[in-house]
């Protein structure tokens, strides 16, 4: 009896989950110096430089989007880059890397399930109801220590609100981007245009921050910025598309639930912080709710 080799797509999905989990930790390091919008702008200026060869190659090959498609890509850029990462980094700064990973990873499928029930009129069955209930119960447990009388942490709740808005943005992006991704054979080209448009929108937003603070970044913080720009925005997206070409999308998505685990491990190694029992229990409930919601559409084969 021979051992079955692990599919390269599964390995790619595992790598992406680890990278994106560490992205919350890397962001928390840089946010000690930069504002959320400034970090997002710096990250995606660098990412846009990395994506520029894809745009140049596409134009040389005559693969140029229509004007209407460019407008749609610009909207997606604002939604998935400008607003998305401004909200996410504000959440990381106020609520912490580990909690942010739980909310972002867990609530995207939960909110997508709710949206599909409202917008697409899909049935709101018991499995989906249970998934949504578990998710919101998990958030209550995570926020409970900050609800106790005399210990209300306003910044923490602002962070949670930003992270929920962050998940809403990605859910909308996932729905609106389907047409473009089906129309163009190169997902990298769509991603490149969306990244550039999102970066352009971030630049005026970043003018509210002090750009001179980037010169005070330490060497470790610069490494974190380049990690976010090159590995998280570049290599990880490429490997994610590769994983989706090799294994089922639901199977690939399940591995992303490792992101909060990696984030908490990273926070512990970097800061020595151990999450409390309620945060861990709440995280388990959120991820369980996300799994139930996302697996609702799977079919038995």
Report how far residue 125's alpha carbon sits from residue 166's, in angstroms, rounded to the nearest whole number: 26
Would you state the pLDDT for residue 117?
Answer: 64
For residue 2, being part of any structural domain is answered with: no
More confident of the two residues 94 and 184:
94
Would you state the pLDDT for residue 250?
Answer: 56
Would you state the pLDDT for residue 85?
Answer: 93
More confident of the two residues 101 and 187:
101
Would you state the pLDDT for residue 244?
Answer: 65
For residue 78, being part of any structural domain is answered with: yes
Domain housing 231: 8-294
More confident of the two residues 199 and 281:
199
More confident of the two residues 188 and 56:
56
Residue 100 has pLDDT above 80, yes or no: yes
Percent residues over pLDDT 70 in the chain: 78
For residue 226, being part of any structural domain is answered with: yes
Query: Which of 103, 59, 51, 56 minimizes the C-alpha distance to 77?
Result: 51
Task: Out of 49-53, 67-71, 114-118, pick the least confident.
Answer: 114-118
* pLDDT mean over 148-175: 77
- The distance from CA 155 to its chain's CA centroid, rounded to whole angstroms, is 21
For residue 188, being part of any structural domain is answered with: yes
Report how far residue 16's alpha carbon sits from residue 31's, in angstroms, rounded to the nearest whole number: 22
Query: Which of 70, 24, 273, 51 minimizes the C-alpha distance to 183?
Result: 70
For residue 235, being part of any structural domain is answered with: yes
* pLDDT mean over 106-111: 69
Query: Which of 10, 7, 279, 281 minimizes the C-alpha distance to 146?
Result: 279
Report how far residue 23's alpha carbon sits from residue 266's, in angstroms, rounded to the nearest whole number: 10
* pLDDT mean over 278-297: 71
More confident of the two residues 297 and 67:
67
Domain total for the chain? Answer: 1
Give the 3-state secondary structure of residue 248. coil
252 near 244, Cβ under 8 Å? yes
Residue 289 has pLDDT above 50, yes or no: yes
Structure tokens at 157: 């709740």
Query: Which of 93, 107, 219, 227 minimizes the C-alpha distance to 165?
Result: 107
Task: Out of 31-45, 51-65, 244-258, pick the least confident.
Answer: 244-258
**pTM for the complete prediction?**
0.80
For residue 227, being part of any structural domain is answered with: yes
User: For residue range 178-232, what is the model confidence (pLDDT) as tens digits?
Assistant: 677 677 767 778 888 889 999 999 999 999 999 999 999 999 999 999 999 999 9
More confident of the two residues 120 and 183:
183
76 near 195, Cβ under 8 Å? no
Task: Out of 22-26, 51-55, 293-297, pick the least confident.
Answer: 293-297
Report how far residue 241's alpha carbon sits from residue 235's, in angstroms, rounded to the nearest whole number: 10
Q: How confident is the model at residue 97 (pLDDT cuts 50, 70, 90)?
A: confident
User: For residue range 62-86, what is the model confidence (pLDDT) as tens digits?
Assistant: 778 888 888 988 998 998 899 999 9
For residue 273, being part of any structural domain is answered with: yes
**Average pLDDT of the chain, as a whole number:** 80
For residue 1, being part of any structural domain is answered with: no
Position of tokens 């992406």? 16
Report how far residue 135's alpha carbon sits from residue 282's, in angstroms, rounded to the nearest whole number: 8
* pLDDT mean over 6-16: 79
């Amino acid at each position: 009896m021979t051992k079955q080799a692990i599919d390269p797509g599964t390995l790619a999905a595992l790598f992406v989950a680890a990278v994106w989990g560490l992205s919350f930790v890397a962001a928390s390091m840089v946010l000690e110096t930069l504002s959320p919008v400034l970090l997002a702008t710096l990250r995606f200026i660098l990412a846009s430089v990395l994506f520029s060869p894809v745009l140049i190659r596409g134009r040389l090959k005559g693969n140029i989007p229509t004007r209407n498609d460019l407008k749609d890509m610009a909207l997606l850029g604002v939604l998935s880059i400008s607003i998305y990462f401004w909200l996410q980094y504000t959440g990381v700064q106020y609520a912490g890397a580990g909690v942010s990973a739980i909310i972002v990873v867990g609530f995207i499928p939960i909110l997508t399930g709710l949206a599909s029930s409202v917008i697409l009129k899909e049935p709101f069955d018991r499995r989906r109801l249970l998934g949504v209930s578990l998710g919101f119960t998990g958030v209550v447990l995570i926020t409970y220590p900050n609800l106790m009388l005399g210990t209300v942490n306003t910044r923490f709740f602002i962070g949670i609100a930003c992270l929920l808005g962050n998940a809403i943005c990605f859910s909308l992006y996932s729905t609106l981007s389907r047409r473009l991704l089906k129309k163009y054979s190169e997902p990298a080209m769509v991603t490149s245009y969306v990244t550039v448009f999102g970066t352009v929108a971030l630049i005026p937003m970043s003018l509210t921050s002090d750009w001179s603070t980037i010169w005070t970044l330490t060497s470790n913080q610069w490494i974190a910025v380049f990690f976010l720009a090159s590995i998280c925005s570049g290599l990880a997206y490429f490997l994610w598309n590769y994983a989706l070409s090799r294994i089922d999308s639901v199977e690939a998505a399940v591995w992303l639930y490792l992101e909060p685990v990696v984030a908490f491990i990273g926070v512990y190694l970097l800061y020595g912080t151990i999450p409390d029992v309620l945060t861990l229990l709440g995280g388990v409930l959120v991820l369980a709710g996300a799994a139930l919601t996302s697996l609702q559409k799977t079919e038995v084969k």
